[in-house]
A = this chain, B = another copy of it.
Amino acid sequence: MIAEIIAVGSEMLTPYRQDTNSLFLTARLNQLGVNVAFKTIVGDNWDHLTGVARTAFSRSDIVIFVGGLGPTEDDLTRESVAEALGTELKRDHEIVTAMYKRFAERRIPMPDNNAKQADVIPGATVLPNSRGTAPGQWLETMYEDALRIVLLLPGPPHELEALWKGQCEERLRAVIPASAIATRILKTAMLPESAADARTAPIYQRHPEVETTVLAGQGQVEFHLRATAATMDEAQAAVDCLADELQDELGDAVFSTAGESLEEIVGLFLQMRNLKLAVAESCTGGMVAERITSVPGSSRYFLGGAVVYSNDLKTLFADIPPLMLEAHGAVSREVALALAENIRELCNADIGVGVTGIAGPGGGTEEKPVGLVYIAVSDGQKKEVVQRRFPGDRERIRRWASQQALDMVRHLLM
């Protein structure tokens, strides 16, 4: 069985936006043993969309439309798919009622155009969208004597993903032949990409039965392993064996072996040891705190802290003596250490983090260039500060620095 993903939206035909939902869908389809044979990107244009739908139905077993389910005039997916299938939409009044309720809860009157989101292809199962107004649709139908599975899904990634996991996978599994694909993800922190690859390539090349993909971001290198076999035991054994060998080589640079983010791992460690964290950030401007608090339940181990962007606030919220700022500069080893230690004490936390640096693009000097960052952690007894020169633009430098800070907390807790 082959699948086709059709991303609908004129914005994805500009130089500025790209379809990214298909990456998520491809990963999930692959896990079910289904290959994606075609991806098509088409604009909000009746003729184009209807033509694309006909082409897809004629060549692919599973056709997944993403986007174009909203309330606006531009949203034409429902209508075009019905037209391509030679049928007409029917309005589902239960959905209309549910939409009225949703708006009423938020005390906003529902605009009339919203009702078109309740138009359903005859024979389709409606897939309620818990995170948005536009429901998805699932249809099994014959097209030119072949069985086709047709899916209409909303474009916003969080809606799409929830709907896919909650309502599409089980349905698909029931209609496609079973096969076993096992995957593992190993994530490492603060390992240079080229070093990571040089050390691991000889290992994963010895295991052609496992498909290995190496992905690198700011301070993070991930190994995605994937094996297909007759049984799940066999597939799992293959990825586990390679994962073990890679972990032996990479040691404690590996922070996650089951997909967790670095902020989740740090949270788990803090919670297990019943410790509280506080942070004082200058150049990262809240990014460390934002990453930590992106994890549900982080209030159990994160107290908060200060964004000490100006020098005055470094003194006000983290007791940094003005004389220290004058003597060493705000971007210095001394200030980073004092930020970590003082924020820990002031907040009555167990561990403190301090970050200060030059994110650029302005503000660099020969002595203190853009990308220079000092990151410190302290638990009162053990104090550590590192100096780093991160590459890239403002956003990348800040991301690297926040990654380093989280990784230092992880090492302190190991």
A interface vs B, CB < 8 Å?
9-18, 20, 23-24, 26-27, 30, 35-45, 48, 51-52, 55, 59, 70-74, 105-106, 108, 110-114, 131-133, 158, 192-195, 197-198, 201, 205, 211, 213-216, 224, 226, 278-279, 281-290, 292-294, 296-299, 302-310, 312-313, 316-317, 346-348, 359-363, 389, 391-396, 398
Contacts and interface: CB of A to CB of B under 8 A. Distances in A.
A360 to B, nearest CB: 7
Contacts of A348: 312
A131 to B, nearest CB: 6
Contacts of A205: 73
21 contacts: A13-B37, A14-B226, A16-B23, A16-B224, A38-B40, A40-B40, A55-B55, A71-B197, A72-B201, A73-B201, A111-B194, A131-B393, A158-B396, A286-B290, A287-B290, A289-B289, A294-B394, A296-B394, A302-B309, A304-B313, A306-B307
Contacts of A18: 18, 20, 23
B15 A71 contact: no
Contacts of A192: 108
Contacts of A296: 360-362, 394
Contacts of A13: 26, 35-39
A398 B158 CA distance: 14
A8 B211 CA distance: 16
Contact of A39 (B24, B41, B193, B309): B41
Contacts of A44: 213
Contacts of A392: 131, 158
Given A38-B52, A198-B113, A286-B288, A14 B224 contact: yes
A191 B123 CA distance: 35
A344 to B, nearest CB: 13
Given A131-B391, A197-B72, A306-B305, A26 B37 contact: no
